Structure 1
Amino acid sequence: MKAFIISKYSKTERLQLTEVPFPEVNDNDILVEVHAAGVNLLDSKIKTGEFKLILPYKLPLILGHDLAGVITKAGKNVKNFKVGDEIYARASDHHIGTFAQFIAINEKDAALKPKNLSMEEAASIPLVALTAWQVLVERAKIKGGQKVFIQAGSGGVGTIAIQLAKHLGAVVATTASAKSFDLLNKLRADFIIDYKNSDFEKMLSNYDVVLNSQDKKTLEKSLRILKSGGKLISISGPPTPDFANEIKAPWFIKIILSLLSSGIRKKAKDRNVDYSFLFMRADGKQLNEITKLIESGIIKPVVDKVFSFEKTNDALSYVESGRAKGKVVIKIK
């Protein structure tokens, strides 16, 4: 089968399209013919080696985390799916590889594809929607009337997080450039701040939750808009010792992450704010809950561009440019 691989970590080398063996299908796995794959900034960060300390992969590696496709084979212990089912999933860490014609994934990572979505739309959902769910539902436990600041509202995570936060009853503020305001109004964001001309720190105060996806400077400014007892949840770092424990990292990684995050953890503690780092995980049960919201029209995918399989490198470059509104998808079949 054909797949896009990396042979070494690099910021400049392109993915290589090559022939690779079909994946092995274990007893709890489903073999999926991939129809479409979502492209995420995480794919770029793994390609450059930025995450090799916390996600050490054996090279060569097939990239890609999101998929939608059809099951062609099921392991003998698979209970929830059968051959012919249309599914979507975020492949779990250390088992990625959706930039390929086929992938074997554990059934617990998958969910039936929403009936009202195309394969391309479905492939845009898993990683960003699970991120939004794990930040807002699982960790922040958002309640009606709370104020939530979601950075970069027109991005992949932002477009889904805004819809989910509004469904949960939150008042939502976000940042974007002026050209994205129409999109964000349709998603029902309450306050939209033009990050090019305005400073959100001067416009927002007394917030309950911040979903941080930007740089260190934005992270520290976000801290100052939160009320005492508020939660600052970052998906862009710095990772914490708690995260090192979650992934069962070696002791020296725990020390490194402790040093990397010591500054923001101290500043958060001084303001009585809870700072945490979230690295989303694959979860088919949560994806089933997200499916219900999609099929009832509460969450709608936002797809910017669909690239052909042969143009996977162009798709990744477009995501890296930061210009995408919503998600970028590769059509494989």
Structure 2
Amino acid sequence: MKKVIYDQYGDINVLTLADVPVPTLDKNTLLVRVKAASINPLDWKIWHGDMKIMTGFSFPRSVGIDFAGIVEEVGSNIHNFSKGDEVLGIADIFKGGALAEYVVVKEEAITHKPATISFEQAAALPVVGSSAIQIFDKLAPLKAGMEVLINGATGGIGTIAAQLAKRQGAHVTAVVGKNGIDLANELGSDVVINYEQENVLEQEKQYDVILDFANKFPFDKAEEIMKPESVYVSTLPSPTALVSSFVHDLFSKKKREILNLSPSQAYLKQIADYAADGLTIVVSATYPIDAFKQAYTEAAKGGVLGKAVITIP
């Protein structure tokens, strides 16, 4: 089968599309034929070697976290899924493996795909959907009427977070580039700020929750427009950032949180239910697996609305 792997940390040129054996499963796992896998910034953070303390130094390593596909085979202890089921799920975050024709996963790493969405849309959901749910479940619980600022509101997590915040009755201010204005409005944002023309720090408004999905709005700036008791959340964790966040929160009511995604089947089921209930899933670019380098190169430049997805025949 085809699978994207690498034998050392480095730039995109360390990645190769290799022919490897189809993985074998045991009694507690399933074999899924992957139809689509989505691109996440964490992918290149890992293969660049930025997270060696978490990923280690064993090679070869695999690429790809979230996927959608069809169950090909089930272990003898699996009772909630059968061959032929359409599913979406998350591979091990730090080991990857979803960018392949087949992936072996545990039962708790997948859920059934809603019939109303495509494999491409389903592959775009697991990481960003679980992230958005975890943020509002653990880091920044919302109440109706709260003021929420989302920097990067038309990116992968942003498009989902904006919709979930609105579902919970929050007032959403979306910070986007000019190409994202129409989409931010379509997703129901109450206020849309084009960062190319307006500086959100010059607004007099203060916020209960600030979500920085673009990773270009550091806490020391965001603090200026946070309410006395409020929460700032950023993504792409690092050991330094996690420690710094913990120490800061001991002494301030303006909390600084770092998303460290802890996937769960409950989150997967919840986001799948939202999708079945009409959640908008934005996939703005698709690529065949043979064009994976082009896909990652273009995604890393930024500016992608929603998600980019790699399809596998």
Contact kept, 8 Å, 1:11 with 1:48, in 2: the verdict is yes
Contact 2:215–2:235 (Cα < 8 Å) also in 1 = no
| Residue in 1 that maps onto 2:189 | 189
1:19 corresponds to 2:12: no
Tell me the residue number matched to 2:281.
301
Q: Which amino acid aligns with 1:315?
A: A
Structure-1 separation of matches of 2:218 and 2:196: 13
SS at match of 2:271: helix
Is 1:36 aligned to residue 16 of structure 2? no
- State the Cα RMSD in Å: 2.0
- Alignment partner, residue 51 of structure 1: 51
Equivalent position of 2:308 in the other structure: 328
Q: Which amino acid aligns with 2:297?
A: S
How high is the TM-score relative to the length of structure 2? 0.93
Name the counterpart of 2:126: 126
1:224 aligned partner: 224
SS class of match (1:115): coil
SS, match of residue 219 in structure 2: helix
Q: Is the 8 A contact 2:62 2:95 kept in 1?
A: no
Shift of 1:318: 1.4
CA contact (8 A) 1:28 1:76 kept: yes
Q: What is the match of residue 252 of structure 1?
A: none
Alpha-carbon displacement from aligned partner over 1:43-83 (angstroms, at most 9, x marks no partner): 11111111112232622112000100001111122122111
SS at match of 1:54: helix
- The answer to whether structure 1 residue 283 and structure 2 residue 264 are counterparts is yes
1:95 positional shift: 4.5
Q: SS where residue 162 of structure 2 aligns?
A: helix
2:299 corresponding residue in structure 1: 319
Q: Give 3-state SS (helix, strand or coil) of 1:138's partner.
A: helix
Distance 1:35 1:215 in 2: 30
- What pairs up with 1:60-79 in 2 under 5 angstroms? 60-79=60-79
- Taking a change above 3 Å as real, the CA distance of residues 328 and 73 of structure 1, as seen in their structure-2 partners, is same
How far residue 89 of structure 1 moved from its aligned partner, in angstroms, is: 0.6
Is the Cα contact below 8 Å between 1:88 and 1:111 reproduced in 2?
Answer: yes
- 1:190–1:51 CA distance, 2 compared to 1 (3 A): same
CA distance in 1, matches of 2:271, 2:161: 12
SS of 1:53's partner is: helix
Task: Give percent identity, aligned residues only.
Answer: 32
The alpha carbon displacement at 1:34 in A equals 0.2
Are 1:150 and 2:150 counterparts?
A: yes
SS of alignment partner, residue 54 of structure 2: coil
Instruction: Please tell me the residue identity of whatever aligns with 2:255.
Output: D
Distance 1:55 1:293 in 2: 32
The Cα of 1:24 is off from its aligned counterpart by 2.8
Once residues 75 and 169 of structure 1 are traced to their aligned partners in structure 2, the CA distance between those partners, rounded to angstroms, is 43
User: Matched residues in 2 for 1:76 and 1:131: separation?
Assistant: 31
Distance across 1 between alignment mates of 2:120 and 2:217: 35
After TM superposition, list the pairs within 5 Å mapping 1:191-270 onto structure 2.
Answer: 191-203=191-203, 205-215=205-215, 218-237=218-237, 239=239, 258=243, 261=244, 265-266=247-248
What residue is the counterpart of 1:102 in the other structure?
A: 102
Deviation of 1:240 (Å): 6.0
Q: Is the 8 A contact 1:210 1:231 kept in 2?
A: yes
Deviations 1:87-133, CA, capped at 9 Å, x for gaps: 00121334421110000011101010011101111111111111111
Inter-CA distance 87–192: structure 2 relative to 1 (3 Å threshold): same
> Helix, strand or coil: the match of 1:231?
strand
The alignment's TM-score, normalised by the length of structure 1, stands at 0.88
Distance in 2 separating the partners of 1:40 and 1:307: 14
8 Å CA contact 1:307–1:315 kept in 2: the answer is yes
User: 1:276 offset after TM fit, Å?
Assistant: 1.8
| Structure 1 residue runs of 4 or more that deviate by more than 6 Å after TM superposition | none
Offset at residue 14 of structure 1 (A)? 4.7
Q: What is the total number of aligned residue pairs between the two structures?
A: 313
Distance 2:260 2:86 in 1: 27
